[in-house]
Structure 1
């Protein structure tokens, strides 16, 4: 059966990439993107440039509205309420039905709530959408007290972005330091210590309850301390949006289950991005990923699979983050058995490498070391055996080891 039409549910990076890649690969059929926000926009700036007011809503769009018109991609502003896989039909909440040959689910995730008394208060902030960022910006003002629960990438970025507003920030996490699985202990320690150096108070512990009154919020910690704040932001990860898929009897387990071509358990439906989780042919479930590049990669893979093209090969997983004027990048895996090698600069860890038990590079993370991380990615992807002493030597350009 020839492919004449595709409907994409979700206008985040993964859904946008499906549409962009289909056109780039020569697909001339009908393309529709359904999303409540309309024209797709990029989400990483929400905790940085957009929150700070350095970029406008239009400037964070993944492409200008004219591009979608030129590419003949229809944007439907609405919410998908039901999916009929046998008919490849999507039903919107206003009753409109959109029928196509294939459907791609790019439904993303919703912010995870604190499972404690008061954790569902409407006044508690999250950061998943442009509207969330607008709401957060309204509380960032001189002398305002902001408590951030979760000191991972998003929490750290918002803490950093809040400082120029004159906001007093308390950053809460049960782990000290956080991000060890992503960047290794040495770099995680350096990154976390940047917060108090700039006036952010760190609290290690677990919230037990939250109450709110006219004076603000009170967050009771497991230590017995009560933290008072004008606003609370919770950034503890996401819950994949699988309700649409599960109601349509698609296989799901902490994500919509897909094969390596992003195909779900129904031949008419594909899934990409944060809400998709790969199930290998032997039944093994891979860990669901939530990074920007993963969203883009899964979108590209789905486009190739839809057209019957050879699936693209992607390198080791990569991520980035920004805080307090420094740029963090990581690639591969910093967990698992093996050894850690640290490069220092000015007496501080600047690059951390993780070697597997056989001596091959498994992961790398760096502060202001993008070129090093890119070279590390080549080493990982090409399975180049490197000398640990050379990895540790800051005087050796890693690009030479990647050749």
Structure 2
């Protein structure tokens, strides 16, 4: 039976990309995106430009609002509360039932909460939505004592942004330095040191309890017996995949909705994409669930092709980026695993890190203010071109030439 209608539950990067790719690939049937926030918007600016007020709600939209009308894509501002796999259909928050030939779950995830006394307090903030960023902006003022638990990408970005409000920032993480799996130890150290250089207090520790008094002042008790006093507490320790609909509907889940390489779930009528999806190979091997921007985009494109019975697109090595303290960080591939770590320096300062695997192939690269270098490294990784440690370490060697 020819595909005539698709409902996409979730309007983040993954859901939007799936809809956009369906149209780009020639699908003329009905497409509906269901999301409580309406028009899809980009989330990375929430910790940077949008939080700072440099971008407004319109400027962070993934595409102009009129595009959806022009491409006959329906935006339903609501939530999916129930899922029928056989019809298939979704039930919206107001009780309305909407049917479609196929349903794509792009439900993303919810912020991971601290599993400690006080970790569920409503005054302990998270940053997942535009409303979260609006609230955080409203409480950041000159002298505000901000404690951030989690010094990964989000925590580090918010810490950097908060300084521009005049906040006094304390960044707490159990690992010193964070981000070694993403950028390698040398660059992780340099990035972490930027916090102290800019006046942020770093604490390597584990919170054991959070309390708040009648004046709204929070006390974070740490495992070593010390305490951190804060007016505002933000937790940024990753997300939990939103599998509620999938689990209720009987789909296979395991720290995510399990999908094959075409993003199809354990039921042929349903697909899953983005942060909530986790790939299960034919032999049963479960891959690590990814939570980054480009992965959401790639899985959306893959699902669109699969829904239309077209050849699945190929994607390059995984890529991420982050911004803090006026520098831009990018990484591609994997810096975690066996092999040789290579550092490239400029005037004695480490600016890039590489990992060469056991077969002598480039497996990962990360760089500070080195976007062109990272793009060249990605081509080298994707083409499986051999490179030497000496070439990677030498700042005079242009990786673009090696990638040809």
Following superposition of structure 1 onto structure 2, how do residues 264-303 of structure 1 map, counting pairs within 5 Å?
264-303=265-304
Deviations 1:347-395 (A, max 9, x none): 2110000010111100000000000000100111111001210111001
Distance 1:394 1:94 in 2: 60
Where do 5+ consecutive residues of structure 1 fail to align?
none
Partner of 2:369: 368
Instruction: Look up the match of 1:111.
Output: 111
Q: Which runs of 5+ in 2 are unaligned?
A: none
In structure 1, what is the Cα distance between the partners aligned to 2:139 and 2:351? 34
Are 2:60 and 1:27 aligned? no
3-state SS of 1:59 partner:
coil
Match of 1:79 in 2: 79
Q: Note the C-alpha offset of 1:64.
A: 1.5
Give the whole-Å Cα distance in 1 for the aligned partners of 2:97 and 2:65. Answer: 24
For the residues of structure 1 that align with 2:133 and 2:11, how far apart are their CA atoms?
17
Give the match's secondary structure for 1:378: helix
Asked if 1:133 corresponds to 2:133, the answer is yes
Q: Deviations over 1:326-359 (max 9, x none)?
A: 0000000001111100001122110000010111
CA distance in 1, matches of 2:34, 2:18: 13
Residue 93 of structure 1 and its aligned partner are, at CA, apart by: 1.6
Using the alignment, how far apart are the partners of 1:63 and 1:369 within structure 2? 27
| 2:53 is equivalent to residue 48 of structure 1 | no
What is the deviation of 1:214?
A: 2.5
Find the aligned partners of 1:30 and 1:387 in 2 and give their Cα distance.
Answer: 52
In structure 1, the partner of 2:142 is: 142
Question: Counterpart of 1:333?
Answer: 334
Matched, 1:351 2:352: yes
Q: 1:3 and 1:358 mapped to 2: Cα distance?
A: 45
Q: Deviations over 1:184-212 (max 9, x none)?
A: 00000000000000000000000000001
Q: Distance in 2 between matches of 1:266 and 1:213?
A: 49
Of 207-216 and 183-192, deviating more is: 207-216
Corresponding residue of 2:260? 259
Post-superposition offset of 1:33: 0.2
Q: How much has 1:98 moved relative to structure 2?
A: 0.7
1:192 and 2:197 matched = no
Could you tell me how far apart the structure 1 residues matched to 2:241 and 2:346 are? 39
Residues 1:321 and 2:345 are matched in the alignment: no
- Measured after TM superposition, the shift of residue 304 of structure 1 is 0.2
Provide the residue aligned with 1:120 in structure 2.
120
Deviation at 1:106, TM superposition (A): 0.1
Q: Give the whole-Å Cα distance in 1 for the aligned partners of 2:160 and 2:40.
A: 26
Q: CA deviation at 1:223?
A: 1.4
Residue 243 of structure 1: CA displacement?
Answer: 0.4
**1:184 partner SS:** helix
Q: What is the alpha-carbon distance in structure 2 between the residues aligned to residue 264 and residue 346 of structure 1?
A: 51
* Alignment correspondent of 2:233: 232
CA distance in 2, matches of 1:304, 1:60: 27
In the superposition, the TM-score normalised over structure 2's length comes to 0.99
TM-score (norm 1): 0.99
Number of the residue aligned with 1:92 = 92
Alignment of 1:212-227 (within 5 A): 212-215=212-215, 216-227=217-228
Instruction: Write out per-residue CA displacement over residues 253-296 of structure 1, whole angstroms, 9 at most, x where no aligned residue.
Output: 00000000000000000000000000001100000000000000
Q: State the alpha-carbon separation in 2 of the partners of residues 204 and 86 from structure 1.
A: 50
1:58-114 per-position Cα deviation (integer Å, ceiling 9, x unaligned): 110111211101000000000100000101100012110110000000000000000
Residue 211 of structure 2 is matched in structure 1 by 211
Query: 1:247 & 1:346 partners in 2: Cα distance?
Result: 57
**Runs of 4+ in structure 1 displaced over 4 angstroms?**
none
Please say which of residues 381-390 and 298-307 is displaced more in the overlay.
381-390
3-state DSSP class of the match of 1:313? coil
- Counterpart for residue 160 of structure 2: 160
Corresponding residue for 1:242?
243
